[in-house]
Structure 1
């Protein structure tokens, strides 16, 4: 099964002309232990494959394409993946993909993970608020993204959580930049980082949150190729505010 999952991901990447799924934090800094307590490491057989973030006692939000990596568990409550107490920090998961998701190139790249037990809030673990659908995210807003990916293109993943500041890119500008490389940007996305800056994400940390202020506004989805030597085309995130009705429905019924 693991081999089949790996093969499927390879096919997805090559069919998109080598464009990378998001993750590595480029030019980032280590996070403080008491910050970003909502961060989740989505894993396959104890190995980090994607990011995610805790939005309730029972659910983690991440990217739908992470399911293609045959995820098996989620780790919460640590910034250092070498320091994981499986009994208290690791959770089994049930996958709740958005019903319209096909692949990340067409959008709707969002997924909820139902935890095998309720997460207990503590000084190490807290959930994060989601963006208000009525709020307007202004161009050039300074936000941040975090992950456990590599710090250079094609590098190995890191053990300690890294974060980097990124600015929101105007949607029309983002569309124009992607059209220049013959790609039609999907609907309901936010762009930030990777464009006119050396900061952004790269392959491996998909599903992590784009955080503006104290709210999660986006989910890391994809960037341009496996090249993390920014600047290039803007990084792309799923716009959380556009999916709140679906998210709230799943959280209310506690299942999918």
Structure 2
């Protein structure tokens, strides 16, 4: 049965983006917190994202179901698609926690790293549930496979436009938005193949954590970290092309 709630995916994505924008604006102009103030930024965004996460949980439990928005029975074989990302981002995550637990590191730094980890998990849950869950599944009820993937990726990219309201420089936006649409074009096919968003949430969270946590600790394993950061984009484009080709041959399975 087609759920009329997630068929309104465009309106839901707009409301989600609007809420994020309002939260960013309040944080920037009301609390005087922006991207340049790394540690305060993590705590400020954490408040905004907790509110958004509560609203998402309310919507899904009240108007849809977790299965309909991407939390179906997991395809363990297809989780192999994300294994390279989990390894690369896992190396960075472990290195950061090792740095935070070194003797002489302030307790406040460890608290900050934990806050960054919590924020990364909540952001991963919210963004994957909205854009690879509600938007992608809702679009599939109205459109073909590749149009739905594109809609999901573009909506995900447009979400990040509101980062300017949080103090992100306009000059950074072209490269930032470009990376987000490519990320969306990878994650949407993975969501369909794996059938469950939890592995994608973990990848998303660990990758965000790698940038958020460095506001609190310094990383000395430069070679290892740099190698993981270089491997990430290479893995991204290679796997994206491969999985889109696989879906090209399987597209009838996802027909609305």
Please tell me the TM-score bracket, short chain as reference. under 0.3
TM-score normalized with structure 2 length: 0.27
Hey, which of these two has a bigger chunk of strand by percent? Answer: 1
TM-score normalised by the chain length of structure 1: 0.27
Greater gyration radius: 2
